[in-house]
Structure 1
Amino acid sequence: MLDQHSYQQHISVKIFSVFLLFALGAVLAASAELTYGGWIQIPILSILWWRLDSPVANTLKKQFGLGLLFGIGYFVVGLWWIYISLHDVGGINALLACIGVLLLSAYVALYFSLATLAISAFSKNRLTGLFLAASWVLAEFLRGYIFTGFPWMGFAETQFNGPFAPIAPFFGGLACTFLVIWTSWEIYQLRKHITSSLLLITSALAISLFASSFSFTKPTGEPISVRLIQGNFEQSLKFNPQAIGQQIDFYTREITKEAANLIIIPETAFPWPQPNLPFGLLQYLQTFSNSSGSNILLGLIGEVPKENGVQYSNRATGLSPNQPPYQYDKSHLVPFGEFIPPGFQWFVKAFHVPMSDFARGDLKQAPLTIVRKGQDDLHAAITICYEDVFGGELAYRIQNSDKPVNLLINMTNLAWFGDSQAPTQQLRLSQLRSLETGLPALRATNTGITAVLGPDGKLLQSLPEFTQTTLSANVQAYAGKTPYVIWGNLPILVLSCLLLLWGLIRHRRF
């Protein structure tokens, strides 16, 4: 039996641990927004390992609970902007919106807490950091796959501003995540193994620096002129018929104001089913394309035939000079926003969002062909908003395309999330995609961040958020494939599985 003083001390330690783990997660998420966030996150993670490798987490159950608290703190801070879409735009009660954010945060935090169990699940030795990193990679992969996946706010995209970004063209974002976890563990181990840990950390940083000297893609053809039109229309106006007409008029005027090799408007910038658009609008834009030599990419609502009528799709329609229209239907849909999981019709009714059950496009769709008079055609792989999160899917599409991909295009509408860090988070994801593929990227957004990225993911040009304007730029297309495009996530997943298998064998043996 514990005396009263010991009991109070025990409770105080528990409260401190709960607060510390939640706060650590919150600080880790906030640090992602800093200029050198990818560097800062690594020592913060080493503090997490110190707490989870202490007597306060001396059972798997306690470790799981503390890891879950850490994950909830991380995701509540990182994903709080979902409250804006639920409450400010969707009209859900404030308390229910907060509960929604908390529940989503708790769900994705489960993957973090399961990954931390590797600290105690295997016999502790100098290899524990590798087993922990492998466990984290598999948890992150599953987080991006189960229930269609929600891998937002991983450590990989933060590494664009960190030491392990040069690894991305070789083995992708998951490999960056592996190195972040392993390196942070070795920092924690400096207290026990200062010489070997320091040597391992230095070696990892040196290898990453050496990897930055490799380039797998190269410029092709002359730069193309590009116009990215940022309309800055509030999400609440998307389903107002009068506002829809004003929005369509604005984009039509801006498109036809000046010719360019490529003109892009954002996701659902024409927020109306394609057959219901103003009569002759697409024909008018096609005529402008023919006469000016401009390739035009439009974000609109498509219609896909189904058994008992039609189903809407989140579509990009391309108009090129004297060519048939191009069509890309979004393949990776957002749960609840674009498709309704079975049993959740009540949620969508509470959310008051029209057209919330879209048709899903094929993963393998042809890239957009950019026609240039007197020059070879270029080809661009298109992603619509949420699809930019899934690097493996984009790599698969590029690798299996029957035409060489020279450029990435992301069409996005983040007006759902107001003035939050969501646009900067997605910008980092786009930067990681460019780095993984070695291709420049164009981001056409409604409220921001509209930008041009280089093949190394660096920001070349951008527009201020929440402004109605156009970004004009000359963009150099690239040709070639990185190892990551060719191999995808297979190497890092195989390595992680082998490490965990080795860990289980060692644990049973010893």
Structure 2
Amino acid sequence: MNALPDRLTRLSGWRRSLMAAACGAVGALAMPPLGLWHALVVALVPAIWLLDTIAADTVWGRLRAAALIGWSWGFGYFVAGLWWLGAAFLVEADQFAWAMPLGVVGLPAVLAFFTAFGFALSRLLWTPGAGRILTFAAALTISEWLRGHLFTGFPWNNPGMAFGQSLWLMQSASVIGLYGLTLVSLAICASPALILTGPTTGQRWAAPTLAAVGLGAMALFGAWRLPDGPVETVDGVTLRIMQPNLPQDAKFNPRNRDAIMRRYLAISRYAGQDGGTLEGATHLIWPESAFPFLLHRDPGALAQIASILRPGALLLTGAARMEEPLPGEAAGRFFNAIQAIDHQGTILGSYDKVHLVPFGEYVPAFLESAIRALGLKQFVSIPGGFSAGGRRTRLAVPGLPPVAATICYEAIFPDEIFADGPRPSLILNVTNDAWFGLTPGPYQHFAQARLRAVEEGLPLIRAANTGISAVIDPFGRVVASLPLGTEGVLDAGLPRSLSQTVYGKSGRFVLTAMLVICLMAPALRRRKRPSPRAPSPTLS
């Protein structure tokens, strides 16, 4: 074995864990806003070497050692990639600052158990030679899928986003989706580990060369798929997105009601950069949780909205709404919603958020009594927290094709953009990222929502309080956008949707087939042609 992996993998105890955590932290550089996908190579290659040299006497011992390496790697990755969550605890520092370590350190510590599982599973199925790269990639992809689905799911900063930011590379998501990108990115970025550890020159370079060819093929596919010019727009639709850039500490204060309404109305009337006007817009869009009051119970606010809309125009806005209590209930239920309002101030339709943020919008039932006893509450000051919408429904908006509505981080879940049934023609995402200030968080949120457009072949309309607001075509190209931390408006047409993508038709089948191939191919190859394993140092 070369001196570098030899020296690295002779680490033991806390030094080995510290090295794994440092490698994971480097891997976070592949996420937005930096997007240095090469950092994932630096992060994964030593991880392969560390797994290579585990040689405990029992299966349990080997799994335990692999899980510890994986947990340490994941902890470093998630702390470095999610540290910005701490900003939310400082919005109301008098109430939540003490709990900041729970978000900055506690959540990464929990998420790292998924990585620990992936590393342990890969070591359980470990095979000599290049096959172990596929085994590792498949096992970690399975753990990432579990992270995105168990306990309400949290697929934030999935490793597949390393390739999900490049316009050419992200086009593969139209076939294999986010988790397919995860499998491919892990295999490609881990393959250079063989250059210094293969028993022969041919075996050292075969897999990395194949990985480079695969990466080039992805880029060529992306270049081929992208059209030369802009996508045609839907006739008769002109969008205007209003980005107020309202600080979170002011946003939910009812005392600021009048000032907030004046600000929204004034910004909505701004002259657009390309000469657009509010009078020329058919659909005005405001972000999530736009009001520190119940809009549907405020005729004055509805009248103010009606006063700025020309006949036939509509407002789509985030707003909390409350249902009247049912017989026997002490209070009504609150919902985080998107509402459509016409030029007469009439609410024409509503979509209720289905996938709520744990501890942000509600307290999980199994922890509710304990947390209430400690005097704690969710971040959003709604009595009892928000209730989840009954099911995901399309939002019918006059003048627009069928809308797949998403609120806040609902847009990061690949399989939850819309329910079964007729396919929508656009994705609408309203969000409030003011909680996280000018940190990497809003950039990461934007990138993940953008990838949904590519997966589904649908345009994305995104209105964010502090940014990044944008109109994105079904190829993931940004048609128009407003940067983070600015107020303003953007005017754009609505790009037409594409026919249903391969991922939209059979994404789960494609991913399952890829995982089966990656898990079975190394074992089958070993049975057909066993090869001696190169000598390597051992770690207990």
Q: Same fold (TM over 0.5)?
A: yes
1:384 to 380, 397, 407: 407
Secondary structure at the aligned position of 2:315 is classed as: strand
Secondary structure at the aligned position of 1:334 is classed as: coil
The alignment's TM-score, normalised by the length of structure 2, stands at 0.82
Aligned residue for 1:271?
292
Give the unaligned 5+ runs of structure 1.
1-8, 372-376
Asked if 1:463 is matched to 2:486, the reply is no
Residues 26, 42 of structure 2: 8 Å contact kept: no
Aligned residue for 2:250?
237
Shift of 1:132: 1.9
Q: Which moved more, 1:219-228 or 1:257-266?
A: 219-228
Distance 2:262 2:413 in 1: 33
Query: How does 1:64-79 map onto structure 2 within 5 Å?
Result: 64-79=67-82
Residue identity matched to 1:174: Y
Secondary structure at the aligned position of 1:312 is classed as: strand
Residues 194, 205 of structure 2: 8 Å contact kept: no
Aligned residue for 2:261?
248
Residue identity matched to 2:376: A
Residues 9, 49 of structure 2: 8 Å contact kept: no
Aligned residue for 1:318?
340
2:320 to 298, 301, 308: 301
Aligned residue for 2:441?
422
With over 3 angstroms needed to count, the CA separation of the structure-2 counterparts of 1:432 and 1:152, relative to structure 1, is same
Aligned residue for 2:5?
none
Shift of 1:382: 1.5
Q: Which moved more, 1:310-319 or 1:56-65?
A: 56-65
Aligned residue for 2:27?
28
Distance 1:15 1:496 in 2: 33
Shift of 1:424: 0.4
Give the unaligned 5+ runs of structure 2.
1-7, 271-277, 531-540
Residues 474, 495 of structure 2: 8 Å contact kept: no
Distance 1:10 1:467 in 2: 48
**Seq. identity, %:** 26
Secondary structure at the aligned position of 2:225 is classed as: coil
Distance 2:421 2:511 in 1: 23
Secondary structure at the aligned position of 1:448 is classed as: coil
Shift of 1:285: 3.4
Q: Deviations over 1:289-311 (max 9, x none)?
A: 4x433221011001235541420
Residues 224, 476 of structure 1: 8 Å contact kept: no
Shift of 1:429: 0.5
Residues 244, 267 of structure 2: 8 Å contact kept: no
Aligned residue for 1:155?
159
Across the aligned residues of Structure 1 and Structure 2, the Cα RMSD in angstroms comes to: 3.2
Q: Deviations over 1:24-76 (max 9, x none)?
A: 11121134235552343234322322233234888221221121111111111
Residue identity matched to 1:383: T
Aligned residue for 2:301?
281
Q: Deviations over 1:170-210 (max 9, x none)?
A: 12010000001111232212331234213421331243134
With over 3 angstroms needed to count, the CA separation of the structure-2 counterparts of 1:505 and 1:61, relative to structure 1, is farther
Distance 2:526 2:335 in 1: 50
Q: Deviations over 1:55-111 (max 9, x none)?
A: 488822122112111111111121112212123435346453113421110111111
Residue identity matched to 1:242: R
Asked if 1:140 is matched to 2:114, the reply is no
Distance 1:113 1:194 in 2: 27
Shift of 1:444: 0.7
1:359 to 387, 393, 399: 387
Asked if 1:472 is matched to 2:472, the reply is no
Residues 56, 62 of structure 1: 8 Å contact kept: no
With over 3 angstroms needed to count, the CA separation of the structure-2 counterparts of 1:501 and 1:56, relative to structure 1, is closer
Residue identity matched to 1:166: Q
Distance 1:488 1:167 in 2: 12
Aligned residue for 2:109?
106
Query: How does 1:86-235 map onto structure 2 within 5 Å?
Result: 86-89=89-92, 91-92=94-95, 94-125=97-128, 126-162=130-166, 164-191=169-196, 192=198, 193-212=203-222, 213-214=224-225, 219=232, 221-222=234-235, 224-235=237-248
With over 3 angstroms needed to count, the CA separation of the structure-2 counterparts of 1:328 and 1:82, relative to structure 1, is same
Asked if 1:491 is matched to 2:504, the reply is no
Shift of 1:220: 5.4
Q: Deviations over 1:227-253 (max 9, x none)?
A: 111112221123322213321232244
Q: Which moved more, 1:317-326 or 1:175-184?
A: 317-326
Secondary structure at the aligned position of 2:79 is classed as: helix
